[in-house]
Amino acid sequence: MVFEKKHLGLLIIIALVAIFSEWQVTAAFFIASTVMPFLFIFLSDIFRALFKKKYKFKFREACKQGWKPGSSFGIVAFIFLLPLYYAVSAFEYSIVFSFPIATTIIMLSSVKIAVKKSFGFIIFIISILFSISHSLLILWLISFFNSLV
């Protein structure tokens, strides 16, 4: 893998976040923001190979396709979702409900901004499911890392 400038930006953001937040939260956001997009795209590539007869699965290409959104989304997650986590956790509401809802709003807004044309119902549903599962994974990882201490 070639080290690019956007990876340097992600490392700088991780270093800054690690200074100002707990290591459990930083590790949870890093794992969830890089692994979730990678797995989503990697598994969708596998399913595409299974159901489309003309499509041939190439492991190296699937890894490249999965890593690009993972590294790009990692920067977005650290910039927007980490402060959102701290803002939502400051309120009296249950974080198990409020953080996935807030994450879904951020994700749908970013998808709407990123996609120039109008997107269909399937992309809308996938964005909602992805953001809810992503935020619940973050919350689970934070509680898991807190239990290790």
The structural domain count of the chain equals 1
Asked if 26 and 17 count as a contact pair (C-beta separation under 8 A), the reply is yes
User: pTM for the complete prediction?
Assistant: 0.75
Task: Give the model confidence (pLDDT) of 85-107 as tens digits.
Answer: 888 988 888 899 999 999 899 88
Q: How far is CA 64 from CA 42, 55, 58, 67, 70, in A?
A: 9, 17, 10, 5, 10
Domain region containing 64: 5-148
Structure tokens at 131: 């953001």
Task: Give the model confidence (pLDDT) of 10-55 as tens digits.
Answer: 677 777 777 778 888 888 888 888 777 777 777 777 777 777 777 7
Is residue 70 left, alpha or beta, with left meaning phi > 0 and alpha meaning psi from -120 to 50?
A: alpha
Residue 60 has pLDDT above 60, yes or no: yes
Task: Give the model confidence (pLDDT) of 3-17 as tens digits.
Answer: 566 567 667 777 777
